[in-house]
Amino acid sequence: MTHLSKPQGKVRRMIFIVGNSRSGTTMMGRIFGKHPSVYTFGELHFFGQICAPPFSSKIGKTEVEKLASQLFCIQREGYRTYGNPRRFLSEAQTFLSGLTAYPDTSAELFETFLRYESAENDRTIPCDQTPRNVFYISDILELYPMARVINMIRDPRDVLLSQKRKWKRRFLGGSNIPIKEMFRDWVNYHPITISHIWRTAVNAADRFAQHDQVISVYFEELLTHPEKTVKSLCDFVGITYIDGMLQVPQVGSSVAADQPQRLGINPHRAHSWRSEKTGDELSSAEIYLNQTINTTLMKKHNYSPISIQPNPAGLTFHLLTFPMKLGGAFLFNLDRMKSIRETLKRRMF
């Protein structure tokens, strides 16, 4: 992890936790949410899903109210519940009418919303932990000069296992996940797709490896040295480390049932792909495809590929089903792309 100096003086801080999905962004968000100054939001998916670029273009009052209603809906009910934003129009209008300066761009509205909700919860620093914002780091840095971006990186084989089992979250503690979302998670999984997105996400963040407002954290390092890692991140953000920050509930895993009564960082969540309990859930063909696509980037980030001979039948199966699974994933995710062209360009290419 690259250690960077903390911001000087009194600044209007904002935190964005980004990274490939299933790389520890939610855990990191919970950790910062334990700090008395930080308010961690749910996954808002503002960039790309609610609003398409350019984010600094002028928009009218009707559009501002619509975007604010969507933000309130997602924050109150979660982005996977398919809530009705129109039910939050009144709350959005009340929020907007109380502002001294009416936002006239989507970027201004987003920051104003983040700070408003943080203040309502007696916190001063908003923290957005939407993983896919890794593809919008450039926009975030340009729009919010005081932002700090924390990028999470995890072994792509662990990401592959977690994504493969993600549809089972409904039975591991995520009972509020709609059936449609569970099916979407199943359709989204294919070793080629997941491996390729890991590569594009890591590459997207690597472009900012030398930027003084961006820091990358390995999930495995967080699990192995949690206090040291989080203290360094607090320095980076410009806040004082608090002992209770690591006392987060052990929930959200795709390979084990939630244990909300157990607090703290579970070091055993690293290298699940090769453990005795879950190692057999990734086939030799899946591991082979994942490593073939990501070998160069894995080595760059100190993840060692293993020597493996894929099962011919399994490899053939995944190659033949890839077009079908890719098409299904595209159709099931149309509602998550404000601009199809822009989303595909950033996430796939």
pLDDT score recorded for residue 330: 86
Residues 2/208, Cβ–Cβ less than 8 Å: no
Once rounded to an integer, what is the mean pLDDT over residues 284-312?
96
- Domain housing 228: 14-37+124-348
Segment 149-176, tens digit of pLDDT: 999 999 999 999 999 988 777 667 666 7
DSSP H or E run through 194: helix 191-206
Instruction: Look at the chain and report how many structural domains it folds into.
Output: 1
What pLDDT score does 258 carry?
66
Lowest mean pLDDT across 19-33, 66-80, 252-266:
252-266
Cα 66-120-133 angle, rounded to 5 deg: 55
Say if CB 260 and CB 248 are below 8 A apart: no
Instruction: Enter the pTM of the model.
Output: 0.91
Residues in the chain: 349
CA geometry: angle at 205 spanning 189 and 237, to 5°? 115
Averaged pLDDT, 312-316: 97
Is residue 119 assigned to a domain? no
Q: What is the pLDDT of residue 5?
A: 36
- With cut-offs at 50, 70 and 90, classify the pLDDT of residue 280: low
In the predicted structure, residue 6 carries a pLDDT above the cut 60: no
User: Does a structural domain hold residue 99?
Assistant: no
For tokens 């398919």, name the residue: 82
In a domain, residue 118? The reply is no
Per-residue DSSP letter, 272? G
Burial of 57 (0-12, 13-18, 19+ CB in 10 A): exposed
Here the CATH number for the domain that contains residue 255 is 3.40.50.300
H or E element, residue 107 = helix 106-120
Confidence tier at 200 by pLDDT (50, 70, 90): very high
What are the start-end ranges of the E strands in 219-264?
249-250, 259-263
Contact 184, 50 (CB under 8 A): no
User: Is a pLDDT exceeding 80 seen at residue 190?
Assistant: yes
327 part of a folded domain: yes
